[in-house]
C-alpha cells in the first residue's frame, strides 16, 4: 500500500515518440536501464510511452533522430503544473477564506446597555485597554472572565456585577451599578466673587449675604456675596456662600476672511475595511457605503512577491472639501458666523451671546477684515475662601 501511494505521487511523463524503427529506440532505452511504465503502439513509426520524470533527461540524450513530445504529466509534477496554471484563482480563494475567517472572528460592535453616558465611556475605555474593541479579534471565554474580574476589582465602588456576552460579531455589555449613599459635603467658609468684569444680570443664592445687586457693575475679583453675615455693621456669623451669578460680559473680535476659501477636513467618521489592491486599482470588500473623499492608512496583510497584488486592512477617515468664492455680503455673513462660533465654543450650555455689532470693516481685493463687538451672558461665579474661622469672629464680638 505504501509503495502504491509513493508510485502515485512520483512524477511521470507520457511521451510521444516518432521516427524510423521506434522498436530500436525502445531497446536502446531498456539497455540504458530506463524503466518504461507503459507503451501504446500507434504505428510502426510512432508510439506513446510513460516514464519517470527523473529519466527524461537521459531519454533526450538518447533520442538522436527521433522526435519526442511531452503529452501529459502525472503525479507531483501534474499537481504543481495545475497550481501554477490556476494560481490567480487559488490566490483569490485563499484571500476569500482568510477574509471570511477574519470577519467571522472579528468584533464590529460593542453595545454597553446603560443610561449613564459617563459610565459607558469608562467601560468602553477599559475594555479597549484589554483589546476588546471594534475591529479586533474575539477573546476566549477564559479571557473575558479574567477581564470581568479585573474590572470588578478596579471599580469595586462603582460595579456590583458585569457581564460581557458575545453574539455573532457583537459584544453586549451589561452591568449593575453599586449604590453608595452620598455623604453631604460641608461647604467651607467662602465668598462669591466675580470671575471677570461684568454687569450682573441674575442671581440664585442659597447662602451668604448679597452685597451687589442685579444690574450692578462689578470688576474681576470683586465680592458679590459675602460669607460674613453682618447686622448694623457687626459680623454675627460666617458661612460658606453658595449660589450662581450671571453677568453680561464683552469681547472685541478682529477677523480677516478671504473671498476664496478652500479647506479639506476630516468629519470624524471612520471605518476599517479589507481592500484588494492591484496596481492602481482598489477593490473594497464588504464595504457597501463608500466615502466620497477620504484619508487612508494601509496595513498590508498579504502580498504576492511576483505580482503587484495586496490584501490590505485599511483605515478610512471621511473627509469633506469646501471650495467656495463669496460676494462681499456672503463674506460678512461667513465672518460673523465664524466669529460667533468661536465665542460660543468657549461658552457653557447655560451661557449665550446676547448681542453683537460690527464696529468697522476693511475691504481689499482678496479679503475683508471685521472688528466685531460681542456681549454675552456668562456664569461669573467664582469662590474665594475665607481664612478667619467662625469662632474667631464670634469671640471678637
- State pTM to two decimals: 0.44
Quickly state the pLDDT bin for 393 (edges 50, 70, 90): very low
Highest-scoring range by mean pLDDT, 101-115, 134-148, 305-319: 134-148
pLDDT reported for residue 316: 87
Which pLDDT belongs to residue 1? 56
Q: What is the mean pLDDT of the chain?
A: 85
Looking at the domain that runs over 2-82, which CATH code has it been given? 3.30.70.260
Reply yes or no on whether the pLDDT at 392 is more than 80.
no
Residue 254's pLDDT band, with cuts at 50, 70 and 90, is very high
| Average pLDDT of the segment spanning 53-74 | 88
Secondary structure (H, E, C), the chain: CHHHHHHHHCCEEEEEEECCCHHHHHHHHHHCCCCEEEEEEEECCEEEEEEEHHHHHHHHHHCCCCEEEEEEEECHHHHHHHHHHCHHHHHHHHHHHHHHHHHHCEECEEEEECCCHHHHHHHHHHHHHCCCCCCEECCCHHHHHHHHHHHHHHCCCCEEEEEEEEECCEEEEEEEECCCCCCCCCCCCEEEEECCCEEEEEEEEEECEECCCCCCEECCCCEEEECEEEECCEEEEECECEEEEEEEEEEEEEEEEECEEEEEEEEEEEEEEEEEEECCEEEEECCCCCCCEEEEEEEEEEECCCCCEEEEEEEEEEEEEEEEECCHHHHHHHHHHHHHHHHHHCCCCCCEEEEEEEEEEEECCCEEEEEEEEEEEEECEEEEECCCCHHHHHHHC
| pLDDT value, residue 182 | 53
pLDDT: which is higher, 219 or 81: 219
Residue 396: pLDDT over 70:
no
Least reliable range by pLDDT among 94-98, 163-167, 200-204, 208-212 = 94-98
Q: Could you state, in order of their start, the residue ranges of all structural domains in the chain?
A: 2-82, 106-177, 188-259+326-397, 266-314
State mean pLDDT over 230-251. Answer: 91
Of 109-118, 206-215, 359-368, 373-382, the poorest mean pLDDT is in 109-118
Please state, for a pLDDT cut of 70, what percent of the chain lies above it: 92
Give me the architecture of the 106-177 domain, per CATH.
Roll (3.10)
pLDDT band, very low/low/confident/very high, at 83 (cuts 50, 70, 90): confident
Residue 2 has pLDDT above 60, yes or no: no
Q: Does 391 score more than 60 pLDDT?
A: no
pLDDT in tens, 20-43: 888 888 888 888 889 888 889 888
Query: For position 339, what pLDDT does the model report?
Result: 92
Same fold for the pair 2-82 and 106-177: no
Highest mean pLDDT among 53-62, 294-303, 306-315: 53-62
Amino acid at each position: 500500500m505504501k509503495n502504491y501511494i509513493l508510485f502515485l505521487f512520483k512524477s511521470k511523463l507520457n511521451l510521444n515518440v516518432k521516427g524510423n524503427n521506434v522498436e530500436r529506440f525502445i531497446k536502446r532505452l531498456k539497455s540504458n536501464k530506463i524503466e518504461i511504465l507503459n507503451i501504446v503502439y500507434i504505428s510502426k513509426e510512432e508510439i506513446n510511452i510513460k516514464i519517470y520524470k527523473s529519466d527524461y533527461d537521459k531519454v533526450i540524450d538518447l533520442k538522436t533522430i527521433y522526435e519526442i513530445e511531452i503529452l501529459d504529466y502525472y503525479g507531483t509534477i501534474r499537481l504543481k503544473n495545475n497550481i501554477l496554471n490556476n494560481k490567480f484563482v487559488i490566490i483569490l480563494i485563499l484571500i476569500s477564506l482568510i477574509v471570511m475567517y477574519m470577519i467571522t472572528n472579528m468584533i464590529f460592535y460593542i453595545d454597553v446597555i446603560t443610561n449613564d453616558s459617563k459610565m459607558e465611556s469608562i467601560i468602553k475605555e477599559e475594555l479597549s485597554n484589554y483589546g476588546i474593541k471594534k475591529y479586533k479579534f474575539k477573546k476566549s471565554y477564559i479571557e473575558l472572565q479574567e477581564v470581568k474580574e479585573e474590572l470588578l476589582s478596579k471599580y469595586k465602588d462603582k460595579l456590583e456585577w458585569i457581564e460581557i456576552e458575545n453574539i455573532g460579531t457583537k459584544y453586549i455589555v451589561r452591568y449593575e451599578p453599586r449604590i453608595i449613599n452620598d455623604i453631604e459635603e460641608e461647604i467651607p467658609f467662602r465668598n462669591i466673587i466675580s470671575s471677570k468684569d461684568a454687569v450682573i444680570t441674575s442671581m440664585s443664592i442659597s447662602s451668604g449675604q448679597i452685597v451687589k445687586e442685579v444690574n450692578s457693575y462689578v470688576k474681576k475679583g470683586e465680592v458679590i456675596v459675602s460669607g460674613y453675615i453682618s447686622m448694623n455693621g457687626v459680623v454675627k456669623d460666617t458661612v460658606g456662600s453658595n449660589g450662581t451669578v450671571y453677568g453680561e460680559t464683552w469681547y472685541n473680535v478682529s477677523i480677516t476672511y478671504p473671498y476664496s476659501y478652500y479647506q479639506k477636513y476630516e468629519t470624524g467618521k471612520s471605518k476599517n475595511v479589507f481592500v484588494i489592491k492591484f496596481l492602481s486599482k482598489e477593490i473594497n470588500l464588504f464595504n457597501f457605503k463608500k466615502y466620497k473623499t477620504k484619508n487612508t492608512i494601509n496595513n498590508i496583510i498579504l502580498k504576492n512577491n511576483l505580482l503587484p497584488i495586496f490584501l490590505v486592512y485599511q483605515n478610512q477617515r471621511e473627509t469633506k472639501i469646501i471650495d467656495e468664492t463669496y460676494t462681499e455680503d456672503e463674506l460678512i455673513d461667513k465672518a460673523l458666523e465664524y466669529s460667533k462660533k468661536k465665542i460660543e465654543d468657549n461658552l457653557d450650555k447655560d451661557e449665550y451671546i446676547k448681542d453683537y455689532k460690527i464696529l468697522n470693516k476693511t475691504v481689499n481685493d482678496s479679503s475683508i477684515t471685521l472688528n466685531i463687538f460681542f456681549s454675552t451672558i456668562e456664569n461669573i461665579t467664582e469662590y474665594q475662601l475665607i481664612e478667619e474661622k467662625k469662632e474667631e469672629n464670634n469671640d471678637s464680638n
